[in-house]
Amino acid sequence: MTFKLWSVGATKPHESHATVWRLMSFEDLRVGELYEVLRLRSEVFVVEQQCIFLDIDGDDRDANHLLGVQGEELKAYARCFGPGVKSTEASIGRVAIHPSARGKGLGHVLMAQAIAAVNQVWGPQAIRIGAQAQLADFYAKHGFVDLGRPYIEDDIPHLEMVRPA
C-alpha cells in the first residue's frame, strides 16, 4: 500500500524543487524505484562511507520504504519498521540523503516524515535507531535520546537511541 505523507516540514508539489514523499511496502516498489533506492544506499553507505557490507540484508521485505523524490530523482530515503521486527520498538534505518541535496535541511524533513510514517502506520510509539555517533546531535533534535550503549558497526561508532512515545 502506498501512502502520501504531508506533515510538518513537507514541501508541497506546487513549490519549486518540491519533494514528494511516498511511503511504500516492498511489494509496492516498482523496479525502477527499487533500483534508485539500492543505488542511493550503495552510493552513501558503501562507496562514500567506504564500508564493504551487504546492504541488501533481507530486511527490505519487512520494511516500509520512505522515498523523497524531487522531479524524477530520489533525494531522500529511510526504512521504517513496525514494532517487533528489528527491535521491540518501531525503528527507522538506512537514513540517506543524496549528496547533491545535502546542506538544505532535507535530512530534518526526512526524519520528520519518517517519524510521521511510523505514527501513521503503527500508531504513536517509541522509535529505536542505530545512529552513527557523529550524528547524535542531529537525531537529538528529533527527540532521540542516547541510551549509553555505544557500539561499532562496519568500523563506524554507533549509538543506540530511542525516541520516547
Q: State the architecture of 2-163 in CATH terms.
A: 3-Layer(aba) Sandwich (3.40)
Instruction: Give the global pTM.
Output: 0.89
Confidence (pLDDT) at 1:
42
Going from N- to C-terminal start, the domains of the chain cover: 2-163
Instruction: List, for residues 10-48, the tens digit of each pLDDT value.
Output: 444 444 469 999 999 999 999 999 999 999 999 999 999
Q: What is the DSSP string of 99-145?
A: GGGTTSSHHHHHHHHHHHHHHHHH-S--EEEEEEGGGHHHHHTTT-E
